[in-house]
A and B are shown apart, each in its own frame.
Chain A
Amino acid sequence: MIEFFTENKDMIFIVILMIFVGVEVIGKVPAVLHTPLMSGANAIHGVVVVGAILLMLNTETDNYLALALGTIAVFLGTLNVVGGFVVTDRMLEMFKKK
């Protein structure tokens, strides 16, 4: 346990602090913005695509299964990112128009 903490203390710091930031940041959101906010957050967790890219970059060229799954992962992650941001933008476009 102690060993785990020492090895990963930077990561653990980030995790704990980010939990508080996350709660703080959307503390006083009006109900109107719940959907766009959820959609925006949805786009942000698309950052998982970075993991899929790192996976691909570290895969040997002859590991076809890993390459295939990795390519699908990058594709799905990209869908999440692009679709998420674009659909949020469309929702918010509706609010701006006067």
Chain B
Amino acid sequence: MNLEIQHIIYLLSSVTFILGLKMLSNAKTAKKGNSLAAVGMIAAILTAIVFHDGAVSPLVYGLIFGAIAIGTVVGWLTAKRVQMTKMPELVSLFNGMGGACAALIGLVEFHHNTSNPTNMAVILAGMVIGSVSFSGSMIAWAKLNGTLKNAIRLPQYNLINTAIMFGLFAYSAWMIWAGTADEMHLYILFFASIAYGILFVLPIGGADMPVVISLLNSFTGLAAAFGGFLYGNQVMLTGGILVGSAGTLLTLVMCKAMNRPLFNVIFGAFGAGTESAGVAGPQGNVKEVGPSDLAVQLNYSKKVIIVPGYGLAVAQAQHVIKELETILESRGVEVTYAIHPVAGRMPGHMNVLLAESNVEYDKLKEMEDINPEFAQTDVVLVVGANDVVNPAAKNDPSSPIYGMPILDVENAKACIVNKRSMNAGYAGIENELFFRDKTQMLFGDAKKVLTELVTELKALD
């Protein structure tokens, strides 16, 4: 009877995962979808414990509940306390934890299963993928965090990585074929997988991290699914495969939004062009503008579009930008926000940040919708964004970002760019937009200069 109840609950949990994910892809239902999947998850976990057949010692129950309790408190507090700008790296961190969990399952289950080639294949696959996902996510986390700043590339890294990847395959295949029970081989495979995860993510530039995290996310899903196969557990299998498949599609969708084929992300076409492009960029004079002049200019505009970028997030300027919007609207200026698909550090990151400071959802326009509007716009205010407004993506085939869809800010009557300095953007390339006639630079920390701008605007009344 226990088994039947267990199966029914697992089935219901699987349905909540599917519905939850479906609801997550629509802004109106997303929050409910997340909660629904969470309820399904709790049900699945409780079911696994409560309806287990066979004697279990109190020690084991104690350890399980202890680990769950501590994990819940730590996870909850970390997730609640993190600043919204730090969110992408947190997702990466949690993803790594899931991968590590799958890897540990493989390590422990190995010696029970050396006589059964199918089980062994499933265990090794889960362990290898879980380990790669774990170490890769940790590197991605460190990169987004700023701990690891530069892409580190060994000479011939693509060759080395591909060799290790095939080596992992071959070694696993050999272990299964030989049916070895020697745990030394297991540990060699484990550490080689960890090393592969590190070497896989290290050479990839920070701008491509969202894609990498999404890819590693689907890896962990796959690792969970292998666990499900091993235990004959349907909810792990459905949840894991669901994430594996949806995650892969999401990775491809993100690549498409950045116009970067996945192959280039992984095998790093980005790095090659960066060094040369960084040195020899467009030269010329830039025009500067101060907050007081800009205040007048904005005050007499009809239509203003704000283009937020990661610089805004770093400066924590999302609240003052909302203040700017409010004061301009009160003067009869129409204000909207142009959100590039990869603005911030992750797709949708900027939307979350602006929503945090109460900017209305309808005011955030996606690239395709807003691009035609730039021509009728008086002033575009670019805050801390660079690569997503770089015309080189359109007219310089040698540029590493050539082909990436950009926001057509140059069509507006005037373009104000707020930056801390003339340094190149995240992709490390110069931006000729800054040297255009219609462009004026507003130098300084986004929060500081925007606050000054708001003060000036208030004084104009």
Residues on A close to B: CB < 8 A? 4, 7-8, 11, 14-15, 18-23, 25-59, 61, 65-67, 69-98
Contact B355 A78 (CB under 8 A): no
Give Cα A45 to B224, complex, Å: 6
> Would you list the 3 A-B pairs with minimal beta carbon distance, nearest first?
A78-B71, A22-B245, A34-B347
List residues of chain A with CB within 8 A of the CB of B37. Answer: 40, 43-44, 85
Contact B346 A95 (CB under 8 A): no
Residues on B close to A: CB < 8 A? 17-18, 20-22, 24-27, 30-31, 33-35, 37-38, 41, 44-45, 48-49, 52, 54, 56-57, 59-60, 63-64, 66-68, 70-72, 74-76, 78-80, 82, 84, 87-88, 90-91, 93-95, 97-98, 100-102, 104-105, 107-109, 118, 130, 210, 213-214, 217-218, 220-221, 223-225, 227-250, 253-254, 257, 339, 341, 346-349, 351-353, 355-356, 358, 360-361, 364, 366
Contact A25 B224 (CB under 8 A): no
Contact B238 A38 (CB under 8 A): no
List residues of chain B with CB within 8 A of the CB of A55. Answer: 105, 108-109
Contact A30 B27 (CB under 8 A): yes
Contact B75 A86 (CB under 8 A): yes
Q: Which of A19, A33, A71 contacts B27 (CB 8 A)?
A: A33
* Count of A-B residue pairs with CB < 8 Å: 371
9 extra interface residue pairs, beta carbon distance < 8 Å, beyond A56-B64, A70-B63, A90-B84:
A8-B229, A25-B25, A35-B210, A36-B30, A45-B95, A57-B56, A70-B104, A74-B63, A85-B35
Q: Which of B30, B75, B241 contacts A33 (CB 8 A)?
A: B30
Contact A22 B243 (CB under 8 A): yes
List residues of chain B with CB within 8 A of the CB of A84. Answer: 75, 79, 91, 94, 98
Rounded to whole Å, the gap between the CB of B233 and the closest CB of chain A is 6
List residues of chain A with CB within 8 A of the CB of B91. Answer: 35, 38-39, 42, 84, 87
Contact B341 A31 (CB under 8 A): yes
Contact A57 B361 (CB under 8 A): no
Give Cα A55 to B22, complex, Å: 31
Task: Please list 20 pairs of residues, one from A and one from B, whose beta carbons are closer than 8 Å in the complex, sorted by A's number.
Answer: A22-B245, A22-B247, A31-B341, A31-B347, A33-B348, A34-B347, A34-B348, A35-B348, A39-B87, A45-B240, A50-B48, A54-B48, A65-B108, A69-B108, A70-B104, A74-B64, A74-B68, A77-B98, A79-B78, A86-B76
Contact A21 B245 (CB under 8 A): yes
Q: Which of B63, B66, B247, B348 contacts A36 (CB 8 A)?
A: B348
Q: Which of A27, A43, A90 contacts B80 (CB 8 A)?
A: A90
Contact A23 B238 (CB under 8 A): no
Tell me the nearest residue of chain B to A53, going by C-beta.
Answer: B48
- Given A25-B21, A51-B228: A30 in contact with B237 (beta carbons within 8 A): no
- Given A53-B48, A69-B104: A47 in contact with B235 (beta carbons within 8 A): yes
Tell me the nearest residue of chain A to B38, going by C-beta.
Answer: A85
Q: Which of A19, A30, A34, A74 contacts B241 (CB 8 A)?
A: A19
Contact A47 B240 (CB under 8 A): yes
Contact B355 A97 (CB under 8 A): yes
Contact B34 A85 (CB under 8 A): yes
Rounded to whole Å, the gap between the CB of A20 and the closest CB of chain B is 8
Give Cα A31 to B256, complex, Å: 11
- Given A42-B217, A45-B220, A87-B87: A52 in contact with B71 (beta carbons within 8 A): no
Q: Which of B31, B66, B240 contacts A48 (CB 8 A)?
A: B240
- Given A38-B250, A83-B78: A48 in contact with B98 (beta carbons within 8 A): yes
